[in-house]
Structure 1
Amino acid sequence: MKKFIKIFAWAVFSTFIILVFIGSFLIYKVKYGFPVRFETVMPDIEFPTDRKVNVLLFSKTTGFRHDASIDAGKEAFAVMAVKDDWFLYETESGGVFNEEQLSKFDVVIFNNSTGRVLNDKQQQVLENYVENGGMLLGIHGAGDDSHRWEWYEQNLIGAKFSHHPIKNQIQETDLYLEADISPSLKKDLPDTWTHADEWYVFFSNPRIQGFRIIYRIDGEKIDPNGNFFLIRNK
């Protein structure tokens, strides 16, 4: 009987250790990603001369991959490109982040890009691009803390990502247009609108760092509970 209890206890303990290891692996994967490789070969791109805007849609991930959202983003931007006469270049290869080619794009879109997706040199190219007037639009996953890129977090996000709700993952709430937005930017934008999303929770408000907010939500009207460590932050 004692031998059976001993074997059973070791089996339970071993199972616990394995589960802890798997859980830790998954948490690390979500927060930091596991870069497999950095693409360095310049792609062959023919930039048309008869388009209004050149748009780079970048969807590479090495962290958590929002497959459905990424695919929806590709479809949506493809429709907008046709409607508004853009040249849309869609890729998951970091090789396009070189000075020669990146300078030809009017805007770069991180389509739910998570984890570290660029090497040091490519990151510097993007930093220079933005600091010299280039535009970068980040969608959802692009705002988490998996990128391991201090400049990106401080200058593009403006706050440290904490978590997103898990218990009530998708919640509907109202968004309010800020009053100090320039008339040219707020043209055709509604003052309020209702949207259901997986709202991200941050440790601080980017306003503190001087960031301009276009729309805000009332954080008191969503339930932020449910990250891996059950931290409640607003």
Structure 2
Amino acid sequence: MSLPVMPANATPPDRVLVFSRTVGFRHESIPVAVRTLVQLAESMGLVADATEDASAFTPENLARYRVVIFASTTGNVLDATQQRAMEAFVRGGGGFVGVHAAADTGYDWPWYGALVGAYFQDHPPGLQHSRVQPERDGVAAGAAWPVHDEFYNYDRNPRGRVQVIATLDERLYEGGRMGADHPIAWHHAYDGGRAWYTGLGHTAAIFAQPEFLAQLRRGLAYASGRADAG
């Protein structure tokens, strides 16, 4: 039986790199997060690779990818040379997706902090219940949905520097410190590329929640240039 042959002029599928190296705290949900992100990318017609090897961050290797996903990375996961490769990737039009502890990464790398939009500051102890309110252009868009997860407080409110696409209701849980406007997912054009981030994703269970999967799908669509709204 002959194998199918791709036409010579066919465009190869976009590739996604899922990166989950940790230097600080390591989330138990990382294997589920990586598996889910790979499956989600592939369901969108993207080819996905997963690694925890920072040596993948070279200009030559990153040129193979359309999107790089930081899946609950923590600490200083890239050295100076690898950081420059990531910067060049974004400046060349590459997309970035950050999930949960991607905001707990690269504190010595100001460019990255601006890419993500805000750094993790702290979180209330334990898992709690709240609601996520989707929004578009600063206005509620669609029904709020319930969430049970770990909720980050950030070092600043990113609104004004990014396009917020979802907020968290601090009235429903203890320990929120951002007030009535608590962004939990956002996107923006940055330094020639596109960046999208969600603060959700601490638990393995949330990666089976349809609303969260839809949010991640929107993030991949935005970062890969398939949609203009994240």
Q: Same fold (TM over 0.5)?
A: yes
Aligned match for 1:173, one of 115, 130, 145: 130
RMSD of aligned Cα (Å) = 2.6
Tell me, in whole angstroms, the C-alpha distance in 2 between the residues paired with 1:211 and 1:160: 14
How far apart, CA to CA, are the structure 1 residues paired with 2:56 and 2:142?
Answer: 36
C-alpha separation between the residues in 2 aligned to 1:125 and 1:170?
Answer: 36
TM-score (norm 1): 0.65
1:95 and 2:55 equivalent?
yes
- Structure number with the higher helix fraction is 1
1:201 match: 153
Q: Deviations over 1:36-81 (max 9, x none)?
A: xxxxxxxxxxxxx7753201011111110002x1111122123224
Residue 6 of structure 1 aligns with which residue? none
Are 2:53 and 1:132 aligned? no
How far apart are the structure 2 equivalents of 1:120 and 1:180?
36
Offset at 1:86? 2.1
Q: Which residue of 1 aligns with 2:77?
A: 117
Q: Rate the CA distance shift 1:87–1:112 in 2: closer, same or farther, 3 A.
A: same
Q: 2:197 aligns to what?
A: none
Note the C-alpha offset of 1:90. Answer: 0.8
Matched position secondary structure for 1:141: helix
Alignment of 1:67-86 (within 5 A): 67=28, 69-86=29-46
How many angstroms apart in 1 are the aligned matches of 2:18 and 2:105? 20
Q: Which residue of 1 aligns with 2:25?
A: 64
* CA contact 1:165–1:199 (8 Å) conserved in 2: yes
> Hey, what's the Cα distance between the residues in 1 that align with 2:104 and 2:43?
31
Q: Percent identity?
A: 34
**AA at the equivalent of 2:64:** K
Checking the alignment, whether the CA contact within 8 Å between 2:129 and 2:147 is kept in structure 1 is yes
Structure 2: segments with no counterpart, 5+ residues: 1-9, 180-230
Contact 1:81–1:87, Cα closer than 8 Å, also in 2: yes
Cα 1:179–1:218 change in 2 (3 A) is: same
- d(CA) in 1 for partners of 2:34 and 2:40? 10
* CA drift at 1:147: 4.0
- Counterpart CA distance in 2 for 1:179 and 1:74 is 28
Cα 1:51–1:72, aligned 2, differ >3 Å: closer, same or farther? farther
More strand by share: 2
Q: Which amino acid aligns with 1:157?
A: V
Q: What is residue 67 of structure 2 aligned with on the other side? A: 107
CA offsets per residue over residues 90-140 of structure 1, 9 Å max, x none?
Answer: 111111111111022111011111111111011011112223321111111
SS for the counterpart of 2:164 is coil
SS at structure 1 position matched to 2:163: coil
Structure 1 runs not aligned, ≥5 long: 1-48, 182-188, 226-231
TM-score computed with the length of structure 2 as normaliser: 0.66
2:77–2:106 Cα contact (<8 Å) kept: no
Could you tell me which amino acid in structure 1 is paired with residue 164 of structure 2?
A: I
Q: What letter matches 1:54 in structure 2?
A: R
Q: Flag the structure with larger Rg.
A: 1
Which residue in 2 is equivalent to 1:161? 120
- 1:41 corresponding residue in structure 2: none
Bigger Cα displacement from structure 2, 129-138 vs 139-148: 139-148
Shift of 1:174: 1.1
